[in-house]
Every structure is written in C-alpha cells, then in structure tokens.
Amino acid sequence: MHDWQDDKCISILKNIVMAMDPERSRILIDDFVVPDKKVDWLTACLDLCMWLFFSGVERTMPQWQELFDAAGLEVVRVHCTTVSRSKVIELRKRLEA
C-alpha cells in the first residue's frame, strides 16, 4: 500500500471490503508502520523514496487507521516480528452497529 496515495489506497480497500464477510474474511497488509517519533534514517529515506518515485508514503499507525476507517475496516491485530522492519496488519470488515 505504500506505493499508493491515500485516495487510491482507500479505493482499493473499499473494493475488497465489498466482497468480504464481516465474520470470516480478513485482509493482511505486510508493510511498514512508522513510529510517531524518532524515526530511524533508513525508514525516513524509504519514505522520501516512496514520495519521490511513486507519490506514495510510509505511514504511521494513525495514518493507517485513517485509511482503514475511510474504507470501512477495523484492525483485528498488528503482528510484529524481530526479523523484519515491516508489520502485518490484520483487518476485518467493520461490524455495523
């Protein structure tokens, strides 16, 4: 998703959400979640490269959350690993109240 601008990400996610079952379907996004403060130099460089070459962005968790809210998704869990800088964000279709 980091290769895409916010509006494109929302459009992609909304199209997937239409086909999802809220109880059984999940989306897994394997991508960077940038810290809010004290970002390391490599992550900052990658963010600049995404912006310069693709008009994309590396996102903080609040930025990811804005995309998910706009697409009708909710975070189930964020899976972390010690062998990668990326995280796996597990999402489901937002349950309507």
Catalytic residues: 2
DSSP conformation letters of 11-27: HHHHHHHTT--TTT--E
H helices of the chain, in order, are 6-17, 41-54, 61-71
